[in-house]
């Protein structure tokens, strides 16, 4: 019997990767970090991809990977923060898994990403960039049925809540 995927979406710094690791540990399912997989396949970092080819090229790579991963099962998938920019990504993932959006306040996100220099969309004034991007993407994140607030729950509790949802849907 195949297991449905668990797909974690949300703005950067909301805890997708750390929550994904805990879910993989608890379920025995493989964790796929989409950004890390793109970097591995491209043999360069996401900032390098953005600098050399631009965001549209990166989004095309991301889209292709969504289509590939949506064909598989039994995975914990940690997506990049911009995955929601193409509604087809969420639609494809919903067909084969439980999609959960992790949220956090701009203050929490800034605190988590303050010293992170690997985010090409946060160059310059991080506080302003986070607020602007978050406002722009919020309606897209809100289309995801299952939301878990990372301000209220730590990684272990987030994983517990996701596993409860997963049990209800299987």
Domain boundaries, the chain: 5-169
Q: Is the pTM of this model over 0.85?
A: yes
Assess if CATH 3.40.50.300 describes domain 5-169.
yes
Q: Is the pLDDT of residue 135 over 80?
A: yes
Q: What does the pLDDT read at residue 96?
A: 87
Under the banding of pLDDT at 50, 70 and 90, the label for residue 1 is very low
pLDDT tens, 56-71?
999 999 999 999 999 9
Contacts 24+ apart (CB under 8 A), 153-160: 155/15, 155/18, 155/19, 155/22, 156/22, 158/15, 158/19, 158/22, 158/102, 159/19, 159/22, 159/23, 159/26
How high is the pLDDT of residue 118? 63
Token representation of residue 98: 């439980």
């Amino acid at each position: 019997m195949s297991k449905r995927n668990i797909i974690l979406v949300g703005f950067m710094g909301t805890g997708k990767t750390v929550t994904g690791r805990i879910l993989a540990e608890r379920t025995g399912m493989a964790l796929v970090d989409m950004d890390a997989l793109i970097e591995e396949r491209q043999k360069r970092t996401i900032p390098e991809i953005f600098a050399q080819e631009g965001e549209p090229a990166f989004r095309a790579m991301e889209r292709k990977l969504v289509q590939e991963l949506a064909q598989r099962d039994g995975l914990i998938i940690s997506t990049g923060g911009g995955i929601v920019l193409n509604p087809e990504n969420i639609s494809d993932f919903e067909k084969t898994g439980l999609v959960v959006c992790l949220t956090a306040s701009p203050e929490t996100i800034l605190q988590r990403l303050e010293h992170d220099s690997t985010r090409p969309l946060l160059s310059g004034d991080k506080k302003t960039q986070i607020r602007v991007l978050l406002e722009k993407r919020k309606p897209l994140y809100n289309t995801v049925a299952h939301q878990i607030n990372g301000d209220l729950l730590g990684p272990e509790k987030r994983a517990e809540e996701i596993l409860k949802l997963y049990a209800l849907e299987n």
